[in-house]
Amino acid sequence: MENTGANYLASAHKQFKYYQSLGDKVINLLNESQLHWQYNAQSNSVAMIIKHIAGNSISRWTDFLTTDGEKPSRNRDEEFEGDTYSKAQLLILWNKGWECLYTAVDQLAAEDLIYTIYIRGEKHTITEAINRQLAHFPYHIGQMVYIARMILGEQWESLSIAKGQSKQFNDLRFSTEHGKINDDH
């Protein structure tokens, strides 16, 4: 029987990588001014979401086993304020946040998943903290995708299966050995 905890950690890492790649694609599609575009004053720009995801990740996963996940040095409100970050600076921050998360999560062993950590004084098992992040980041990355779609309009390049292309995708996917379901799993 396979180790469920190890499988969970590998699956979580894979999911984080997938959502990071979606965010990477959005960032690559947008120019500097588009990264800062807001629908209205109450809306977030992609730049703000990048700052928020990075700030959250750095706060949550730095010394996460020994300190609360909401670090005193974090200024969450500032993450949602307009700014003058360049695209290069945003990319550095974005990658720093992901690196912090991977460094923390990739050091874990299956038996660590039941340990208690704290986020804003609230107890979480490590599994709960990872699940919390796996819900939080896709939520915001979906916002990034939607904002980019609004900005780019007809120039939008689908990041997954394009509208009206499901049948073609499935035909191609299931025409290969990789896509075929087998009974040996």
Q: How is 53-89 classified by DSSP, letter by letter?
A: HHHHHHHHHTTTTTS-SS-TT--HHHHTS-----HHH
Cβ neighbours for 158, distance < 8 A, ≥ 6 positions apart:
165
CATH top class, domain 4-157:
mainly alpha
The pLDDT score that the predictor gives to residue 181 is 56
Give domain limits for the chain.
4-157
The pLDDT score that the predictor gives to residue 2 is 57
Sign of CA dihedral 176, 179, 180, 182: positive
User: Which DSSP letter does residue 37 get?
Assistant: -
pLDDT tens track of the chain, all 185 residues? 358 999 999 999 999 999 999 999 999 999 999 999 999 999 999 999 999 999 999 999 999 999 999 999 999 999 998 778 999 999 999 999 999 999 999 999 999 999 999 999 999 999 999 999 999 999 999 999 999 999 999 988 888 877 887 888 788 888 866 655 554 44
DSSP labels for 107-147? T--GGGGG-EEEETTEEEEHHHHHHHHHHHHHHHHHHHHHH
Which token pair is 16?
């984080």
Q: Which of 84, 74, 73, 94 is nearest to 28 (CA)?
A: 94
Which token pair is 166?
């499901």
| Residue owning tokens 């894979």 | 14
What is residue 9's three-state secondary structure?
helix
The pLDDT score that the predictor gives to residue 60 is 97
The pLDDT score that the predictor gives to residue 42 is 92
The pLDDT score that the predictor gives to residue 184 is 47
| Residue owning tokens 């200024």 | 75
The answer, as to whether pTM is greater than 0.85, is yes
CA distance 183 to 157: 36
CA distance 132 to 60: 11
